[in-house]
Structures are given as C-alpha cells and as structure tokens.
Amino acid sequence: MRTKAAVLGIFSLFFLLASSSYGARLSVPREFLTIQEAIDAAKDGDTIIVSRGTYSGAVVEKAVKLRAKGRVIINDGPEANSFLRAGFLFNGDYSGSGASIIGFRFKGKPQFDYIDDENLDFPIYSRGANNVTVKNNIMINSLQAITNWNGSGWKIQNNVILNLWTLNGGGIGILAGGFKSGAYQGNLISRNKVLGTLKVYSEDGGGYDGSGIVLYADFRRNSISVDKLTGNRVENNEISLISDTPEVVDVNGIELTDTRDIPSPPVIRANHIRDNEIDGAGRYGIQVTGAQGNLFAENEIEGSTHVDVFDDTAGDGTAGTANIWDDNDCATSSPAGICDDDSDDEDDETEDD
C-alpha cells in the first residue's frame, strides 16, 4: 500500500508540475467577454483562446499566449498615444515579455487627422518587451503594422501586411529598433509579406520614406541612445509596396537606418539581410544609412525608381562600403558594384577594353 501511495503521490506531483508548465486555458467570449478581461485574469504561461468575432485589443502585461480560433478581427484597442490606437500594446516595462500573438486579423482605417477616430492604427505596438512571438496574422490598413521598440528575441513570422498609410510619419510594415540605451538583438523577421499601397496623407509634409521592413537606431530624442542593434535576421520576406504620392512620401523595401549625421561608433552591426524578394518598392529596394558590418546576401530586387540598392557607408567592404554584399540579384546600385548585374557590367567593360 505504501508503494502504491508513493507512486500515486509521484504521479500527482508530476501532473501538477506538468499542468503548471503548460498553464491554464482561458476562453473569450465564453468565459470572458473581452480580451483585456482574460489577460487581467491570466497568469504567465496561460493560453487565451479568442473565438470568432470582432473585438477590441488589449494591453499585454503578462507572458500569455494569445490564439485566434476562426476569423477573429481586432479593429480597436488601447491608446498608444493621445489619438492613435494599438491592437495589442506593450507599455515598455517588459512585463509582456514572452507573450505570443498568433492567427489574428487586424483591420484599420486611414484616419488622416489628428483626432481619436476609435479605429485601429498600430496592430501591434511595443515600447519594450523581449521574446515576443508574432505569427500568422493579417494586418490591413496600418499606420505601422508591427512595431518592436527596445526589444530582443522577437520572432515575427508568416504575417501578411496589406496597405499602409502615413500621417506625417509612419507608413512602416515592420520596425525593429531602439530609442533608449540598450542592446537590442536576436530578432527574427522571416517569411512575412508587405504588399499593396502606401496611402499618403493629403497634407503630409514629406521629407521621409515609408518602409516595408526597417532596423532603426533612433537618436532623434536623445543623443545617448541605442548601444547596439545587432544579430538580427531579416530573411525570406516578400515586399511589394507602392506609394500613391511618391513625390511626397516614397517607399523603401528594407532599411537599416542610424539617424545620426555621423554614426560613430556604429551601432547597427552584424545583422543578416538575406533571401528577401523586393519587387517595385519605390525609391530604393534596400537603403543603408550609417549601418556598418552587416551582411546582405542573395536578395532579389527589381523595379526601384532610383536604384535597387543604396549604401552610404565607406569602408573595407564590398564596393568600398562598410558592409558585405554577396550574390544579390539586382540591376543598379549606389555605389556601383554591389549588385551582381552591375558587377557583371563592369567585368564586361573590362573585357571589351
């Protein structure tokens, strides 16, 4: 009897440990009417199943797993600032680290005014969280679709972003970057699609470009900002995004941007940008500003209105830049010699001579 009791005791203990590791399952709307109520009741590691319907989003302050079951539409949410709303908002205290958001449909609407129109503007917006998974979502009509400020270890995969808009800023599909001191690294941006039209605000002042995907070191708010933006991977994404008013705000497919006039020391380093397909992304297919020591490999770029690839750095890398460009399928670049095609042209000219 003692042996049997001991075995049962061990089994019960194992069951309790296993149950706690998997977490509880909470249901919206069966158990909770709103997603926010479910998050408030949940604990780290719990799964929240959201069934078919249209909902407001929520502030994410726990490591919960948010799963859509059926066609779940998010068309509203908490205020990201005084007049713009997010679907899922991470406030920046890293309390939402470890969360995942999978299978939702986010539906926004260009507001083109500085008022709160109670429509969705940022499907997913974070001021600071780590190890967040954003996967298999659809995002329609966003100011910025997925925004990861000051975060590491994000997995942003298999999302479809359709149509973006501007309001004297924005017009970005996926942003990973920093605006405060810290090292932001190990983010994976893979197999996403950024497609459609960038709709430009009729009174937009311009002076910037929209982007499909951007790694961004933002020193505009503080001269002491990002320490490192490194070890991030942008792979196997598809970008085909055209501005409806390119003379005011055009589009770049992929950007690596340091906002300082003199990026010293360089902070955007050792990132891998590879196997992306960029077709007709406006001004530049890939634009590099102040980012050094990065690898760009086997990207396919065509249809740019200026040049397919622009790199403003200088160093010991490819074609006198400070980066490595390897086997990229494109036709034009600045400086020349980055693309396979214009390298071939130079070789042909040498042979003719």
Q: What is the 3-state secondary structure (H, E, C) of the chain?
A: CHHHHHHHHHHHHHHHHHHHHHCCEEEECCCCCCHHHHHHHCCCCCEEEEEEEEEECEECCCCCEEEEEEEEEEEECCECCCCCEEEEEECCCCCCCCCEEECCEEEECCCCCCCCCCCEEEEEEECCCCCCEEECCEEEEECEEEEEECCCCCEEECCEEEEEEECCCECEEEEEEECCCCEEECCEEECCEEEEEEECCCCCCCCCEEEEEEEEECCCCCCCCCCEEECCEEECCEEEEEECCCCCCEEEEEEEEECCCCCCCCCEECCEEECCEEECCCCEEEEEECCCCCEEECCEEECCCCEEEEECCCCCCHHHCCCEEECCECCCEECCCCCHHHHHHHHHHHHHC
Which pLDDT tens digit goes with each residue over 38-89?
999 999 999 999 999 999 999 999 999 999 999 999 999 999 988 899 999 9
Higher-scoring residue by pLDDT: 269, 344 = 269
Tens of pLDDT along 203-217? 999 999 999 999 999
Residue with more model confidence, 347 or 111: 111
Calculate what percentage of the chain has a pLDDT beyond 90.
Answer: 82
Query: How many Å apart are CA 207 and CA 259, to the nearest integer?
Result: 14
Asked if the model's pLDDT at residue 266 lies above 70, the reply is: yes
Global confidence as pTM: 0.91
CATH numbers and ranges of domains, the chain: 25-352 (2.160.20)
Chain center to CA of 124: 9
Take residue 117 and report the two structure tokens written for it. Answer: 């129109």
CA distance 21 to 16: 9
- 72-79's contacts with Cβ under 8 Å and 24+ in sequence apart are 72/103, 72/104, 72/105, 73/104, 73/105, 73/106, 73/107, 74/104, 74/105, 74/106, 74/107, 74/120, 74/123, 75/106, 75/107, 75/108, 75/119, 75/120, 76/118, 76/119, 76/120, 77/120, 79/116
| Pairing of the two strands 193-199 and 160-165 | parallel
Could you give the percent of the chain with pLDDT greater than 70?
90
**Region 131-145: what's the mean pLDDT?**
98
Whether 111 has a pLDDT exceeding 50, the answer reads: yes
